[in-house]
Structure 1
């Protein structure tokens, strides 16, 4: 009998929704030995953004993982872009290495960061960016609370390695976000947690430039990390599905 594969939890990047991850989820499910995966909508993006609270994203990510590991599942948690922030905070106490010591089945077995922020405790993405927010690819309304994607610029920065029709399609799926995401500091990051960590470098990324990815990796690097590279823009789960599936197959 083939052992169960780990369940992948995709946490959308800022402005993204679970819709953006449907191609990769379908590809993982179509493997000869399927890899189960799911994506969750972030409270701070989309219709609920105006009333969302700063740590609502983290709360949902952790609750989702808790339910899976309490059901005895192994979990690979994936953060993309901004969602590296809630993802890195959701791991502690749910890692399989700790749960095994407690006599429990299941746990987070790996955390994967795809072109994602890697921040130390006490730092927000606003602080990391030197206070230079909002980013140029959004407009601001509702007293500065809500950020709305600039369609044309997002097409160029996030989806430039897709055909034009696909760029338009996926740019149209982007949603409004609450600025909470970028002003809330990290707390209890998983950098010292006994769990495998992988960074997927997107070498042609215009939204998260290569030098920025490597600089952040350098700050948290230790023997628990591995690195994979994809010659893609900011969304390899759309433009390089087969290559990303090949990477994830090794870990699931």
Structure 2
């Protein structure tokens, strides 16, 4: 059986560069990965909603499943867009269409595991946003101040590394928080959740709530929850562990 390809979906304010350490580890272990730039943090001007993110994810994955099994890894914000972009791209559906590949697993890393019809914030508001998320309704962007970066993203990293990572952070589309999910891929594709226990206490509590709510909401394929002593961005602080864990989950039978 050929090795799956990992599709790495970054969170808000980030670029594909955040995956560099993990990609190097996966490469060293003989696994290919693809990390698309999601427009909600990488376009100029920023889009007014998250539809371009969903389209980018869907186009990236659709191109791969013609030939390859894929594993989708979502981080933070991209749990919403990744979860809603994969309708019809699961392995069973792809096989029924004569394709050689398909999405064989989803792996959420501190990401939004949410049902269909979920909206982070009502249209035109900043409801449900952390106080550290600085919103500018005139320009339509959300930013995070340098002094808040460690507490939100990089709890287990040294200051020098954080300073380097800060340089790559970008404004994020405010309107992307007003999107509504239309699909919950975790109901149809085997799903793993990775929780970093050194993440913010409020984030960890929210994650446990999201997982519990998803499991009790009806059909689901959440078959493994992995806890690790790491912060919000374990793929940066523990790239070797993350690579080995992603590979183990990719080949594990549901």
Task: State if a TM-score over 0.5 links the two structures.
Answer: yes
Match of 2:10 among 12, 21, 24: 12
Match of 1:41 among 37, 42, 53: 37
Alignment pair present for 1:215 and 2:213:
no
Alignment pair present for 1:198 and 2:196:
no
Write out per-residue CA displacement over residues 93-136 of structure 1, whole angstroms, 9 at most, x where no aligned residue: 01112222333210001011100111221121225xx9635432
Quickly say closer, same or farther: Cα 1:45–1:216, change in 2 above 3 A.
same
Secondary structure at the residue paired with 1:200?
A: strand
Quickly say closer, same or farther: Cα 1:4–1:208, change in 2 above 3 A.
farther
Secondary structure at the residue paired with 1:209?
A: helix
Structure 1 stretch displaced more, 22-31 or 90-99:
90-99
Quickly say closer, same or farther: Cα 1:243–1:108, change in 2 above 3 A.
same
Secondary structure at the residue paired with 2:121?
A: helix
Structure 1 stretch displaced more, 154-163 or 195-204:
154-163
TM-score (norm 2): 0.89
**Which runs of no fewer than 5 residues in structure 1 stay unpaired?**
none
Deviation at 1:140, TM superposition (A): 2.7
Write out per-residue CA displacement over residues 170-189 of structure 1, whole angstroms, 9 at most, x where no aligned residue: 12211111112211111122
**Which runs of no fewer than 5 residues in structure 2 stay unpaired?**
none
The residue number in structure 2 matching 1:64 is 60
Alignment pair present for 1:242 and 2:237:
no
Secondary structure at the residue paired with 2:22?
A: helix
The answer to whether the 8 A contact 2:106-2:186 is kept is no
The answer to whether the 8 A contact 1:49-1:177 is kept is no
- CA RMSD between the two structures: 1.9
- Whole-angstrom distance in 2 between the partners of 1:155 and 1:140: 19
Quickly say closer, same or farther: Cα 1:133–1:46, change in 2 above 3 A.
farther
Secondary structure at the residue paired with 2:77?
A: helix
Quickly say closer, same or farther: Cα 1:93–1:208, change in 2 above 3 A.
farther
TM-score (norm 1): 0.90
In the alignment of these two chains, the number of paired residues is 244
Quickly say closer, same or farther: Cα 1:224–1:93, change in 2 above 3 A.
same
Write out per-residue CA displacement over residues 179-233 of structure 1, whole angstroms, 9 at most, x where no aligned residue: 122111111222332x211111111102862111010001222454211112111
Write out per-residue CA displacement over residues 129-163 of structure 1, whole angstroms, 9 at most, x where no aligned residue: x9635432232336151112211101222112111
Alignment pair present for 1:167 and 2:138:
no
Match of 1:116 among 107, 111, 118: 111
The answer to whether the 8 A contact 1:115-1:208 is kept is no
The answer to whether the 8 A contact 2:5-2:69 is kept is yes
The residue number in structure 1 matching 2:70 is 75
Deviation at 1:51, TM superposition (A): 3.8
- Whole-angstrom distance in 1 between the partners of 2:200 and 2:110: 11
The answer to whether the 8 A contact 2:41-2:171 is kept is yes
Secondary structure at the residue paired with 2:230?
A: coil
